[in-house]
A and B are shown apart, each in its own frame.
Chain A
Amino acid sequence: MKYVDEFNDPELARRLLEDIHATATRPWTMMEVCGGQTHSIIRHGIDQLLPEHIELIHGPGCPVCVTPLEMIDKALEIASRPGVVFCSFGDMLRVPGTDRDLFRIKSAGGDVRVVYSPLDALEIAQRHPDREVVFFGVGFETTAPANAMTVHEARRRGIRNYSMLVSHVRVPPAIEAIMRAPHCRVQAFLAAGHVCSVMGTEEYPGLADRFGVPIVVTGFEPLDILEGVRRTVHQLERGEHRVENAYPRAVREEGNPAARRMLEEVFEVTDRAWRGIGVIPASGWRLSEAFREYDAEHRFEVGAVRTRESGVCRSGEVLQGLIKPNECAAFGTTCTPRNPLGATMVSSEGACAAYHLYRRLGGPARGTEPAREATSVG
Chain B
Amino acid sequence: MADTTGTTGTTAEPVNPADWTCPAPLRDHPVVVMGHGGGGALSAELVEHLFVPAYGNDTLAGLADSAALSLGGARLAFSTDSYVVRPLFFPGGSIGDLAVNGTVNDLAMSGARAAYLSCAFIIEEGTALPVVRRVAQAVGTAAAAAGVTVATGDTKVVDAGHGDGIFVNTAGIGLIPEGVDIRPQRAEPGDVVIVSGPVGQHGVAIMSVREGLEFGAEVCSDTAPLGGLVQAMLEATLDLHALRDPTRGGLGTALNEIAAASGTGVVLDERALPVPEAVSAACGFLGLDPLYVANEGRLVAFVPREHADAVLAAMRAHPQGAEAAVVGECVEDHPGMVVARTGFGGTRVVDLPLGEQLPRIC
Contact = CB atoms under 8 A, between A and B. Distances in A.
Q: Do A and B touch (CB < 8 Å)?
A: yes
Interface in B346-360: 346-349, 351, 354, 358-360
Contact of A91 (B16, B35, B345, B361): B361
Given A90-B360, A104-B26, A107-B31, A319 B20 contact: yes
Interface stretch (B117-125, B171-179, B196-204, B304-312): B304-312
A286 B5 contact: yes
B151 interface: no
A316 B3 contact: no
A63 B361 CA distance: 9
A272 B362 contact: no
A94 B22 contact: no
A65 B12 contact: no
Interface string B10-43: 1111111111111111110101111100000100
Interface in A75-122: 89-91, 93-96, 100-101, 103-104, 106-108, 113-116, 120
A279 B7 contact: yes
A377 B22 contact: no
B12 A42 contact: no
Contacts of A95: 23, 25
Interface in B36-92: 41
Contact of B281 (A1, A182, A343, A368): A1
B156 to A, nearest CB: 23
Chain B interface: which size bin?
35 or more
Given A340-B25, A377-B308, A116 B329 contact: no
Given A89-B360, A91-B362, A343-B23, A278 B345 contact: no
Contacts of A183: 17
A317 B34 contact: no
A44 to B, nearest CB: 5
A310 B344 contact: no
Interface stretch (B130-138, B142-150, B256-264, B334-342): B334-342
A277 B334 contact: no
A194 B264 CA distance: 41
In the A-B complex, the 8 residue pairs with the closest CB atoms: A316-B20, A45-B346, A90-B358, A343-B22, A374-B269, A35-B362, A342-B22, A371-B341
A370 B308 CA distance: 24
A73 to B, nearest CB: 10
A361 B339 CA distance: 9
A235 interface: no
15 contacts: A34-B362, A64-B360, A91-B359, A93-B358, A95-B23, A107-B33, A140-B362, A181-B14, A270-B3, A273-B4, A275-B22, A348-B351, A360-B334, A368-B345, A378-B316
Contacts of B271: 371
Contacts of B10: 273, 278-279
Contact of B5 (A124, A139, A284, A313): A284
A304 B8 contact: yes
A99 to B, nearest CB: 8
Nearest to A47: B346
Nearest to A123: B212
A211 interface: no
Contacts of B24: 96, 313, 340-343, 345-346
B343 A361 contact: no
Chain A interface: which size bin?
35 or more
Interface of A: 1, 4, 8, 10, 13, 34-36, 39, 42-49, 61-65, 68-72, 89-91, 93-96, 100-101, 103-104, 106-108, 113-116, 120, 124, 139-140, 143, 167, 177-178, 180-183, 222, 268-273, 275-282, 284, 286, 304, 307, 309-317, 319-320, 322, 337-346, 348, 357-358, 360-362, 364-365, 368-378
A364 B12 CA distance: 40
B319 interface: no
Nearest to B313: A378
B6 A273 contact: yes
B359 A316 contact: no
A200 to B, nearest CB: 20
A274 B175 CA distance: 60
A104 B33 contact: yes
Contacts of B361: 63-64, 89-91, 139, 143
Contacts of B192: 375, 377
Contacts of A357: 349, 351
B286 interface: yes
B25 A94 contact: yes
A49 B345 contact: yes
Contacts of A143: 361
B31 A313 contact: no
B17 A317 contact: yes
B279 interface: no
Contact of A377 (B7, B269, B281, B309): B309
A362 B349 CA distance: 12
A278 B2 contact: no
A124, A269, A316, A344: which has the most chain B beta carbons within 10 Å?
Answer: A316
A62 B360 CA distance: 11
Given A46-B344, A63-B362, A70-B6, A116 B286 contact: yes
Contacts of A101: 25-26
B22 A371 contact: no
Given A49-B346, A63-B361, A93-B358, 11 more contacts: A72-B23, A107-B31, A107-B33, A116-B286, A271-B5, A271-B7, A276-B22, A312-B21, A313-B24, A316-B19, A378-B309
Contacts of B334: 360-362
A64 B14 CA distance: 22
Nearest to A116: B213
Contacts of A307: 8
Interface string B312-324: 1100100000000
Contacts of B12: 271, 279-281
Contacts of B25: 94-96, 101, 340, 346
A39, A103, A286: which has the most chain B beta carbons within 10 Å?
Answer: A103
Nearest to B360: A91
Interface string B233-248: 0000000000000000
Given A91-B361, A271-B12, A277-B15, A68 B6 contact: yes
B228 interface: no
B272 interface: yes
B2 A371 contact: no
B346 A116 contact: no
B22 A271 contact: no
Contacts of A1: 277, 281, 284
B19 A278 contact: yes
A369 B341 CA distance: 12
